[in-house]
Each structure stands twice: as structure tokens, then as C-alpha cells.
Amino acid sequence: MSSEDYIRKNPEAIRRFVAVMQKSAPGQTRIKRVGRYPRPDAKIRPEIAAAMNRIHYYEGFVVEPSAFQRQLDMMAKYGALPQISAKDIMATV
């Protein structure tokens, strides 16, 4: 989620975020080998961190614009965002 203002002012940041999430998905499945979670500076108590679920991505995961166009349409319908095309957001990813 993001604010309408941020999306309007930072479309390239939105595109880069989606690209990074897709590129990082394989590494997410190997988190115990690649680093500590959560980071020490997150100030989360160890017992809480141990109980947290880590998101695991399927390595073949690809975001299709149709997967989130409905959510964008609903947000536009209720005034949270201007009408936005998921395909346009994904165009440079």
C-alpha cells in the first residue's frame, strides 16, 4: 500500500520496488544462509522474532498485472488513488 501522493510523485520508485521484490524472491527462501532476520537494529525481542513467520516466495513467482488490477480499481472507486493501470505500473519492470 502507498499513498496516492507518493505514487503520483514517485512512479519510478514504485516500478523499482516491484522489480526488486521479484529479483529478491529466490533469496527469501534461503534466508537462514543469507542473513539474520530480523535485523538487530529492528529492536524486536528475540522471543518475538523467533515466533515470526517469514514470507516465502515461490522461486518461479511472477507478478502479473491482472493479479492486482482489481485492487487498484477498487482503490480508485473509493478515492484512495486515481485510476491507474497495473500494466502501466509494470511496464518498466
- Split at pLDDT 50, 70, 90, the class of 34 is very low
Q: Which amino acid is at 19?
A: A
Asked whether residue 39 is assigned to any structural domain, the reply reads no
24 is a domain residue = yes
Question: Are residues 8 and 82 in contact, defined by beta-carbon separation less than 8 angstroms?
Answer: yes
Model pTM score: 0.39
Residue 82 has pLDDT above 60, yes or no: yes
pLDDT for 60 equals 65
**Mean pLDDT along residues 26-46:** 62
Cα–Cα distance for residue pair 62/73, rounded to 1 Å: 21
Is the residue at 22 inside a domain? yes
Q: Is 86 contained in some domain?
A: yes
* The three cell numbers locating residue 41: 537494529
Contact 65, 86 (CB under 8 A): yes
Q: Specify the number of domains making up the chain.
A: 1
What pLDDT score does 29 carry?
54
Is residue 51 domain-resident? no
In a domain, 38, yes or no: no
Domain limits at 84? 4-28+56-90
Mean pLDDT, residues 35-56 taken together = 70
Is residue 73, in this structure, part of any structural domain at all? yes
* 65 within some domain: yes
